[in-house]
Structure 1
Amino acid sequence: MRTPRVVIVGSSVAGVRVAQSLRTCEYTGEVVLVGEELELPYDKPPLSKGLLAGGERAPKLSLLSAEEADAAGIELVLGRCAVHLDVPGREVVLAGGERLAFDDVVIATGARARPSPWGRPDGVHVLRSLADASALRADLARGGHLVVIGGGFIGSEVASTARGLGLEVTVVDPQAVPMSRVLNPEIGRLFTELHERNGVRTRFGVGVEGIDGVRGALRVHLSDGSVLDAATVVIGIGAIPNDGWLSSSGLRVDDGLVCDEYSRAVGAPRVYAVGDVARWYHPTYATLVRVEHWTNAVEQAACVAHNITHPERPRTHAPLEYVWSDQYDWKVQIAGRTGGDFEHCVVTGPEPGRSFAVLYGDSDRALRGVVAVNWVRALVECRRALSDGGAVSVGEIREKIASLVNPKPRLDRANSNRAPMRSSGSPSLDP
């Protein structure tokens, strides 16, 4: 009788955590972890922060050493690219024709940086892999003006790191404010000011028409007719799931592998997906979602490992979104759903002008999300409230986190007790 086998395709955090969680769940079969890169599995969030900074701030990236894999009975197949999933035959086909049989398969191929629509002259970078970060680090070490195209998490973190290295930096984005997917315009402007206080020039609300030149002498042409000279350019305009290799599988692929609430591919109960490549039915939101968050990848991996080892009592995956970002001297933590679709209020934290929490509520004023800056205790209280399924109102949690500050803080001037929720206006964080 053949020993059961789980094949995991993808060796980043989602894939590694599935493999480790299978052993925690006492799975006794074979576990095979396939990775496209030759490097041992490594963590990716530090690529835009500590790794770029280098020196004493360079972090340890390892997720799984060869010794740890051997001790856990995890077979590593690295430097191999999966090109086809044979669902009826239960085989993963690798480049070169090798086939890996499986009883269960987990798709953890993640996402890749959205490619540059302006080409990739020498000195123009995207940032998704260790090789990307190493190449960018070498160019940053040469100095000169850095232009970052894209004001989302990656672009903002790269800008912050580059300023810490002493580079001249400009951030360009067609959106009016940075991180516009999770911040409404009023709050986004606070992050624009954060860039500018740290010496970064910002060109929000302006698009890019083209890039030409060579490393050290690049030219970025903007939609308003102006041109930025740059030594190096970083493009951070989002990510797209690595699902193209599944197009011949017969599975439903639509901005990721489409799965049910148990993270099982629709119509294929022995095929699972985790992390950035998974698009699954979220039972709380009653819709398909795809989440590009490290925390989601870890939590979904544990859920999938349980469902493989306990198929008779599967668990749904209904996470509370959580993401963090380190920018300059701000630690930004976001939980739940935030942005322009919700009304919001701002509560000043223990360090006026530097710490605050933005509470987001729906039309019934139930708490739906929070952005906490340099205020971990507020984040903890809000995450606890959000985990209660919306039973806590914005007013209740506002009073609770305000009471954490001693002396008791006031709400900022744009958010008085007479108007605890609002959808317009500009918040002030002045002490």
Structure 2
Amino acid sequence: MGLSAPVVIVGGSTAGLATARELRDLGHDGPLTVVSDEAEPGYQRPPLSKRGLREELPPADAAAGLDLEVVLGTATGLAPSVVELAGGRTLPFDRLVIATGARPRRLAAPGQTGELVLRSREDAADLRAALARASSAIVVGAGFLGMEVAGACLAHGLAVTVVDVDRPLERLLGGFVSRLVQDRLAAAGGRFLRGRATLLGSPVNGVDVDGGRARLSADVVVTCVGDVPNVKWLAGSGVHLADGVVVDGRGRTNLPSVFAAGDVVCAAWGGNLTRRPFWANAMTQGRLVAHSLLGLETPVPLWDDYFWTEVMGCAVKVTGPTPLAGEPDAVEGTPEEGALFRWDGPHGPTLVAWGHRLSAARLRRLRLEPPEPAPAAAESAR
């Protein structure tokens, strides 16, 4: 493809804007159109749950200086070389990037109102306003987002209960890290209740746990139970769909001239097709797809092995294969003062920096270094 051919990116997401920026950096000077169903495209989502519930929302400035056209609208279909939008408008393209991301998975029954979620700037503004009026909160879901929301609720001085069928972060980081997370939640004044939650009330004002084992009420109930890829608009298009848009290692779909990046992507990982909706993957895939789209050698793999979160003020950075199991093979430091944990798994090592002042780049380099040999046992006295 030439450097002047028109490109359409559906989705003003992190991945979509990363693709646009990389295209311009690589010299693409043709028409570049980004379709966004949000009025403020081009902002980073991680700060919404980390700072956005406590401070001002981050600016929506990721599209600054990119010389692109932003079309506010919702994609409703894909035909050969044409994106169909709500209202009947169509956008022709020479190359297309699908970067429509995902939407929150919801627990509310049909017609049940008042379920709070966190995905967009609007969600963050609504939730922050609700927290300012509340004295108690229930967070359903003890994954990364759920624990970050729980931390924000505690920072607002709310009584907080987290409910999930698995212990905090256990599905991805295993029991060892989960225990640290649960201890930190308790030390901050929060409570964890293990079980399956059903939302109560309309508007929602509580949860039922395990069919009546416990019934809880709160001023604010937030569900953080995963996401669903935004692929309904691709029905009938011929794009290969599984749990998202299936791509190869260069971000290409099964249709010529159609690529995908970000949370909507489904690809091979550990022998299975999966999605890995982390910010680092969205950024990496944006760069990769821009190179692939221009016919250039791709400088990075499809998957990035790095992600990070914040647990009640403690930064947790991870690089390497997951999920984790068992105790770490090596420990440096202490959880109280900052620690580095290492698991040596069959697919390579994984490092977890717990409250440790390490940059992402330094953590990645440490993962590639061989572990320090264990000190030789002292010769027994004769």
User: Equivalents in 1 of 2:78, 2:279: separation in Å?
Assistant: 25
Contact 1:46 1:61 in 2 (8 A): no
User: Equivalents in 2 of 1:237, 1:329: separation in Å?
Assistant: 22
Say yes or no: does 1:73 pair with 2:67.
yes
Instruction: Label 1:145 to 1:278 Cα distance change in 2 as closer, same or farther (>3 A).
Output: same
How big is each residue's C-alpha offset from its partner over 1:19-49, in whole Å with a ceiling of 9 and x where there is no partner?
Answer: 1111101012110000011224221111112
User: Equivalents in 1 of 2:97, 2:322: separation in Å?
Assistant: 30
User: Equivalents in 2 of 1:18, 1:33: separation in Å?
Assistant: 10
Say yes or no: does 1:274 pair with 2:261.
yes
Instruction: Label 1:343 to 1:289 Cα distance change in 2 as closer, same or farther (>3 A).
Output: farther
Aligned to 2:8: 7
How big is each residue's C-alpha offset from its partner over 1:82-101, in whole Å with a ceiling of 9 and x where there is no partner?
Answer: 01111xx3010001111100
User: Equivalents in 1 of 2:335, 2:193: separation in Å?
Assistant: 27
- The aligned runs of 1:115-126 (5 Å cut-off) are 115-118=106-109, 121-126=112-117
Aligned to 2:319: 335
User: Equivalents in 2 of 1:180, 1:342: separation in Å?
Assistant: 11
Q: Residue type of the partner of 1:209?
A: T
How big is each residue's C-alpha offset from its partner over 1:153-179, in whole Å with a ceiling of 9 and x where there is no partner?
Answer: 11100110111111111111111x201
Query: Shift of the alpha carbon at 1:186?
Result: 2.6
Instruction: Label 1:85 to 1:165 Cα distance change in 2 as closer, same or farther (>3 A).
Output: same
Query: Shift of the alpha carbon at 1:117?
Result: 4.6
Instruction: Label 1:397 to 1:160 Cα distance change in 2 as closer, same or farther (>3 A).
Output: farther
Q: Give SS of 1:369's match.
A: strand
Q: Give SS of 2:172's match.
A: coil
User: Equivalents in 2 of 1:41, 1:352: separation in Å?
Assistant: 36
Query: Shift of the alpha carbon at 1:397?
Result: 4.9
How big is each residue's C-alpha offset from its partner over 1:87-140, in whole Å with a ceiling of 9 and x where there is no partner?
Answer: xx3010001111100010000000111111546745430111111111111111
Aligned to 1:172: 163
Please, which moves more after superposition, 36-45 or 102-111?
Answer: 36-45
Say yes or no: does 1:299 pair with 2:284.
yes
Ranked by relative contact order (alpha carbons within 8 Å, sequence separation 6 or more), the top structure is 2
Aligned to 1:250: 238
How big is each residue's C-alpha offset from its partner over 1:57-97, in whole Å with a ceiling of 9 and x where there is no partner?
Answer: x25232335xx3xx43211112x0001111xx301000111
Q: Residue type of the partner of 2:244?
A: G
How big is each residue's C-alpha offset from its partner over 1:336-379, in whole Å with a ceiling of 9 and x where there is no partner?
Answer: 11334576335142x6524112211225xx74212111113396
Aligned to 1:82: 75
Q: Residue type of the partner of 2:208?
A: H
Please, which moves more after superposition, 289-298 or 371-380?
Answer: 371-380
Please, which of 130, 137, 140 is the counterpart of residue 128 of structure 2? 137
Aligned to 1:208: 197
- The aligned runs of 1:34-73 (5 Å cut-off) are 34-54=35-55, 58-64=56-62, 68=64, 71-73=65-67
**Unaligned runs of at least 5 residues, structure 2:** none
- The aligned runs of 1:397-408 (5 Å cut-off) are 397=372
Q: Give SS of 2:24's match.
A: helix
Say yes or no: does 1:353 pair with 2:339.
no
Aligned to 1:110: 101
User: Equivalents in 2 of 1:159, 1:300: separation in Å?
Assistant: 30
User: Equivalents in 2 of 1:397, 1:122: separation in Å?
Assistant: 55
Aligned residues with identical type, % of pairs = 33
Contact 2:266 2:275 in 1 (8 A): yes
**Unaligned runs of at least 5 residues, structure 1:** 403-416, 419-431
Instruction: Label 1:119 to 1:173 Cα distance change in 2 as closer, same or farther (>3 A).
Output: farther
Instruction: Label 1:103 to 1:45 Cα distance change in 2 as closer, same or farther (>3 A).
Output: same
Contact 2:154 2:160 in 1 (8 A): yes
Query: Shift of the alpha carbon at 1:325?
Result: 0.8
How big is each residue's C-alpha offset from its partner over 1:177-231, in whole Å with a ceiling of 9 and x where there is no partner?
Answer: 2012221113211100110000001112x2213422546xx23111162111111
